[in-house]
Structure 1
């Protein structure tokens, strides 16, 4: 493993950091989240047009830059540093990789180039707020998390058309269309995304499976798709807007034109979600590291300037020790995030690396943001202070992607630490399982 970044990777980081310092200060962030879209659309077009940010990890054949998870993670570290409100995670980290992995050639050609160019945005719709489960970060994603049985979650069914041709070899008549119905909450950028990649349950009890579908949120005339209702939700972290998405018999297209909807398609969907989860965990970990480093940097600058008892409070040894501990934690989380991105890019398959890096980064951001509020004193407790942008991001990201102890437990299971379990869940030695779990949670 070569830990040194290439000249191109360093240039991506430098260019993005310089642009965001000019266009994405705390006051500009607050102004952007107050808009109906929840982000600065002009800045997003600039990031897409000049830097190719949404297509950074997409192949050049589909309008992307042809880079990989490492470059995308470096970009996310810089957007996290600025707490950038933008549809980057939903578009480039979640939806586009799934379309690339599961979509047919016609679907890729139609969707990926405009996503890479920033002309369209996209997101992943998972019912029940179970994003971490769908991405296999807190447990296996081979169950009925999308909506087991005949009700609940999001259901998909084939709707026969009167003009449909006779059934094909897969048992589906040419001309039949997929219809989705159900509801999902806490969907990232769900109120503005142009393309929804929806994880839906189909097959009833006997052939229960989860498949991935593409839904165009707007028609050619710009009107909302029939049956689709989207409502922006109130969130503590306004820099990561979320929405409730209701699907009332909405027309959808199964990702993978040649998929019959059988077991192979379901296994492919689960595998694609898990692979996307590994990259997403690395990118989100890097984003949290960027936010933590910026919060720490702002705090260090503050303790150098604020005086108490005739000297800067940063001169007190107790304050120095607290900041030193935070610095070590940030550097450790950065190393874990970089390693997870390298592993996700094919450096070395490492089960659980993404979940473990994400757990460490979220925990670090939580600790740094809390100390930032404390060390800024009375001003740090006001909502208007920049420290709260990072504090809210830490709290809400763990609710969305964690909790941390489940991320660690999943990483431990994938690493085989609990391989000695019996059928009843017991481990040889009796106390081994509780001790192992306590170690994971510590």
Structure 2
């Protein structure tokens, strides 16, 4: 029988959290994120450069022999918690996790090294809404070139290399300059989507698409829960801080019993989400009960993150409804994340079989 996992944060993980939080405070403050979200270039390349060049975080999951850090999904989860807290517009989840996991299932050490160094940004050309194990759209492979259109591709606008599944069962690396990337209207202004059109683009065969895509989406779904935890944790902490400062009838609003009850309920939800997210990250690290742990985390995470952001917006009252306050970015990210890598319903359906609890 395997030992019970230790889901508490290690000293190294807490040190990593502190370093990432300090860096984001300098490079990814709320006014800066708000300004970028309203611009034509929402991605924060300066913050991404600081995360990759300064801390080597793009290569966190890449083995040391390929130029990476050789860390585990637990460390990546801590980084995603902090990126969620800052609603940071950087492609860590899409490039350093999902695209990297797809490459780890193939034989492409040069591309892995490029992504690990931060020299290039990669994205898996599968719609952000696709759940692990679900069907996904492919392009046509004909005479050594790729033809077709793929929609809902996250961070494609900033990618240098696209990992594209084709109808022959292969996964191909396509230089982004050989594709037409058209921005789509996205609810989440900090993680924009795009349509990728390939019209005779050359592609380099990396390996079989199905195992690579499944591995990538499974890691994406599991670690997305940590981002959702960061969103929820910020929403709760910021709301508590605001309600302590705002006064009504000459007393802090946070002292009213009805609001205390709402915050206490939200705190319980966030604590439970932390346990589920940590369990998913640990399962991805050890490879034990991964399918169940990821499905449990994603069955629960979306509702908590959305609820936390909704409470933050409502309890900030008038200021929360303005575009000058960042809470709307958290609500939009939480709502978009609730559809990313499969809905909660899709994950509950996937969970029913392994735990022998069929839906009615």
Task: Describe how 1:203-282 pairs up with structure 2 within 5 A.
Answer: 210-217=169-176, 224-225=177-178, 228-256=179-207, 265=208, 269-282=209-222
Q: CA deviation at 1:359?
A: 2.8
Give yes or no for contact 2:66–2:112 (8 Å, CA) kept in 1. Answer: yes
Trace 1:285-304 onto structure 2 (pairs within 5 A): 285-304=225-244
Structure 1 residue matching 2:87: 3-state secondary structure: coil
Q: Is the 8 A contact 2:150 2:196 kept in 1?
A: yes
> Larger Rg: 1 or 2?
1
- Cα 1:417–1:272 change in 2 (3 A) is farther
Asked if 1:146 is matched to 2:131, the reply is no
3-state DSSP of counterpart to 2:61: coil
In the alignment, structure 1 residue 51 sits paired with structure 2 residue 60:
no
Q: Is the 8 A contact 1:215 1:252 kept in 2?
A: yes
1:187 aligns with 2:129: no
In 2, Cα distance between equivalents of 1:190 and 1:253: 18
Structure 1, 381-390 or 317-326: larger mean CA deviation: 381-390
Counterparts of 2:258 and 2:325 in 1: how far apart (Å)?
24
In structure 1, the partner of 2:93 is 89
Structure 1 position 388 matched with structure 2 position 328: yes
Q: Given that residues 306 and 312 in structure 1 are in contact (C-alpha distance below 8 angstroms), is that contact kept between their aligned partners in structure 2?
A: yes
Name the structure 2 match of 1:79: 83
| Equivalent pair of 2:64/2:70 in contact (CA under 8 Å) | yes
Aligned partners of 1:78 and 1:287 also within 8 Å: yes
Match of 2:343 in 1: 403
In the other structure, the counterpart of 1:132 is 130
Matches of 2:147 and 2:356, distance apart in 1: 38
- Per-residue CA deviation, residues 295-329 of structure 1 (Å, 9 max, x unaligned), is 11110011111122221111111100000000110
Q: Deviations over 1:4-45 (max 9, x none)?
A: 333322211110011112221111112333454422212211
Alpha-carbon distance in structure 2 between the residues aligned to 1:52 and 1:33: 25
Query: What residue is the counterpart of 2:165 in the other structure?
Result: 199
Aligned counterparts of 2:20 and 2:128: Cα–Cα separation in 1: 31
Which of 250, 259, 266 pairs up with 1:326?
Answer: 266
- CA distance in structure 2 between the partners assigned to 1:373 and 1:35 by the alignment: 23
Between Structure 1 and Structure 2, how many residues are aligned? 356
C-alpha distance in structure 2 between counterparts of 1:314 and 1:130, whole Å: 38
- Report the CA distance between 1:352 and its aligned residue: 2.6
Q: Secondary structure at the match of 1:156?
A: strand
The Cα shift of 1:131 comes to 4.1
Contact residue 299 and residue 376 of structure 1 kept, 8 A:
yes
- Structure 2, unmatched stretches of 5+, are none
Note the aligned Cα RMSD (angstroms): 1.7
Whole-angstrom distance in 2 between the partners of 1:302 and 1:379: 11
1:117 aligns with 2:108: no
1:72 to partner: Cα distance: 0.6
- The structural deviation recorded for 1:130 is 6.2
Q: Is the 8 A contact 2:222 2:280 kept in 1?
A: yes
Deviation at 1:120, TM superposition (A): 0.4
Change in Cα spacing, 1:111 to 1:35, as seen in structure 2 (3 Å) is farther
| Residue 336 of structure 1, CA deviation | 0.3
Structure (1/2) with the larger helix percentage: 2
Matching residue within 38, 45, 50 for 2:42: 38
Q: Is the 8 A contact 1:278 1:355 kept in 2?
A: no
1:415 aligns with 2:349: no
Does structure 1 conserve the Cα–Cα contact (< 8 Å) formed by 2:221 and 2:342?
A: no
2-structure distance, mates of 1:309, 1:286: 39
Q: Give the Å deviation of 1:383.
A: 2.5
- Corresponding residue number in structure 2 for 1:100: 104
Aligned partner of 2:254 among 308, 314, 317? 314
Aligned to 2:24: 20
Question: Does structure 1 retain, via aligned residues, the 8 Å contact 2:7–2:275?
Answer: no
Does the CA-based 8 Å contact 2:43-2:158 persist in structure 1? no
